[in-house]
Amino acid sequence: MTTTILHPLSSPDGSATHTAHGHTITAAVNGPLEVPRRDELPEEATVELHIRPATGISTIRERSLELLLEPTIRRLIRTETYPRTLIQLTLQILRSESSSTNTLTQVPALLGAAMLALLDGGVALRTTVVPALAVTARGQGAVLVDDVTEYEGEWDGTHVFGITGEGKVILAKSEGSFGVEEWKDACAVAVQGIMEGEEEDSDEEMYGDGDGGKQETGREWLMGVMAEKESS
């Protein structure tokens, strides 16, 4: 089940705690801030992303996640609105129920937390994004996953996607063993799950409350969070 808490931290300009796929992340955004002259970009903001592990210091694992997510986050922000400034985003991993060493299972929670913190901080955005995680197994098609712990060791391919409010894929990353058709199936399942929702006989519940019928879509879930922010 996906859960969200807006503005759990008082000091940052925006913050959110987001749980998805067995991972809980707290995101904090500050900016626009002054940036050292050597790092200034004359026509847009500099965007910094830092990912902190639940324990210990950051390693190559966190750095690889930063390299994956930073370009997507930069695309979301209207950086031209904040020239010669810095927008700093920190993602703190609080908890992980998954024993998998596959870092992709963390990406939806990280991206979701980042998106929500940017919204909470009032950062000007080009679009919104909802992450989705799908898994594939040979001869079994693709499944959209809510609780990744239920599928550990049962799939061959892991696929994470970032879907905009217009249904465009702006992030796609996969690991494991899969073919082109399996990847296409995973992408189609992800887009459909975010934009249209899943039927009631689906095994998975991405954003719904389990009351039957079509589950709440990722797009509807994000709109609900935004409405909650506006009314607070």
List, in order, residues 6 or more apart from 136 with CB less than 8 Å away.
Answer: 142, 143, 155, 156, 157, 159, 176, 178, 182, 183, 185, 186
Residues 81, 26 within the same domain: yes
| Domain containing residue 156 | 127-225
Residue 36 lies in a domain: yes
What pTM, to 2 d.p., does this model score? 0.88
Question: Which range (34-43, 116-125, 127-136, 206-215) has the least confidence?
Answer: 206-215
Residues 198 and 149 placed together within one structural domain of the fold? yes
Tens of pLDDT, residue by residue over 125-182, are 999 999 999 999 887 889 988 766 666 677 899 999 999 989 999 999 999 999 999 9
What single-letter DSSP state applies at residue 217?
P
- Report the pLDDT value the prediction gives residue 18, as an integer from 0 to 100: 95
